[in-house]
Amino acid sequence: MPHINIEIKARTAERERIRDILKSKNADFIGTDHQVDTYFKVGSGRLKLREGNIENHLIYYEREDIRGPKKSSVTLYKNNAGSNLKEILIKSLGVLAVIDKRREIYFIENVKFHLDNVSRLGTFVEIEAIDKTGTIGNEKLLEQCNFYLNLFRIPEEDLMAVSYCDLLMH
C-alpha cells in the first residue's frame, strides 16, 4: 500500500547545528546507516534498492522535481539482506546509478530526518513528513515540513529539486 510524504532535500554545511536542534527537540535517534541505493532503469517514477544496516527496502516512488516541499507517493517492499532481489533487478532492468551514503536517521512523531554524507555529492539534510495511514493529510504534512525547514533556517538556494541519482548523473 503506497503512502504519502511531503519532503525536502537540501545541501547543508550545517549538519552539527541541525543535529543540535534535533537533539533539543528530543528527536529519536534511530542510528547511523551506511546505505547503498541502486537505482534501476524504469519507464516512470523511480525504483531503487536500499541496502543498509538499518533500512533494507525496494522503494518505488513518484515525485515532482521541484525545489522546496514536494509530494511523493511511496511504495516500500521490505527486502531481506542476502536475497537475490538485486541480481534479478539488475538482470531484468539494468542499473541507472549507485549512490553510497552515510545517513543519520531521526524521528519526531511522523517526521523523519536524514543527515546525509553522500559520496561524490557532499552533505545534505532531508525532511520527510510521512502519512502511512492516510489520516494526517497533505495540508498538515506541508505545515510540518515548512516548520522544520524554517526551524533549520535552510536557505532557498540550498533546496534540491531532484534525487541523488539525478545529481550524480548530471
For 128-166, how does the pLDDT look when each residue is reduced to its tens digit (9 = 90+)?
A: 999 988 899 999 999 999 999 999 999 999 999 989 999
How many other CB atoms are found less than 10 A from the CB of residue 47? 19
CATH architecture entry for 3-169: Beta Barrel (2.40)
Nearest to 154 by CA among 110, 123, 129, 121: 123
Extents of the domains making up the chain = 3-169
For 22-61, how does the pLDDT look when each residue is reduced to its tens digit (9 = 90+)?
A: 999 999 999 999 999 999 999 999 999 999 999 999 999 9
Q: Is the pLDDT of residue 114 over 80?
A: yes
